[in-house]
Amino acid sequence: MELFSTSFVDGGKVPTACALAIPADPGPVEFSDNRNPHLGWSGAPDAARSYVVTCIDHDCPSAPDDVNQPDREVPSSLPRVDFTHWLLANVPLDVTHIEEGSHSDGVTPRGKAADASPIGVHGLNDYTSWFAGDPDLEGDWNGYDGTAPPWNDSIPHHYEFTVFALDVDVLDLEPGFTRDDLAASMVGHVLSSASITGLYALNPRLH
């Protein structure tokens, strides 16, 4: 399979229009347009019957102590963990592209509704836990919400967009499913996949 985007090139920068946060003046950051990027794919196996789309940041700091602190940077040596930005399952077989802004266009405080996807079914992203305890933002964040790495991180983050071709029409998933739910339901059903990666940083030193 092949995956491409007209919003960014593989290995290039995720555009600010597809970010959740951008640098601010005065800083450090402010909300951005938060549009999902365009994705298009081809070359699925003949036996494919549906698709799954995900976006995972593989560079999330594993400890919060240094995150977004004005007097220091998050060290590059800190172990990194995955942060989920988008889970979309049960995409029909006849859908082979997603237009920019079709699944997210702006920031929705407390998160988008789980049943708001124009196609397929959306799962929770990790802003659900990130904003927990914030009275203005906490809630169930579903579908796509874009890039917002720590503004003092010493490295750019790598955002991997992946499309999976499955051998089933639908997975047994309810709106608001988790990444673990998705992984369990996909076992034995993935025929092929393709990925592209975009980079993004908020640290002014990395611009």
Which class for 197: exposed (0-12), middle (13-18), buried (19 or more C-beta within 10 A)? middle
Confidence band, pLDDT 50/70/90 cuts, at residue 32:
very high
Structural domains of the chain, with CATH: 2-206 (3.90.280.10)
What is the C-alpha separation between 60 and 187, in angstroms, rounded? 25
142 forms beta bridges with: 112, 124
- pLDDT tens for each residue of 36-69: 999 999 999 999 999 999 999 999 999 999 999 9
If one counts every other C-beta atom within 10 angstroms of the C-beta of residue 3, the result is: 18
- pLDDT tens for each residue of 137-166: 999 999 999 999 999 999 999 999 999 999
The mean pLDDT of the chain is 97
**Which run of H or of E encompasses 129?**
helix 127-130
What is the C-alpha separation between 111 and 144, in angstroms, rounded? 10
Q: Is the pLDDT of residue 207 over 90?
A: no
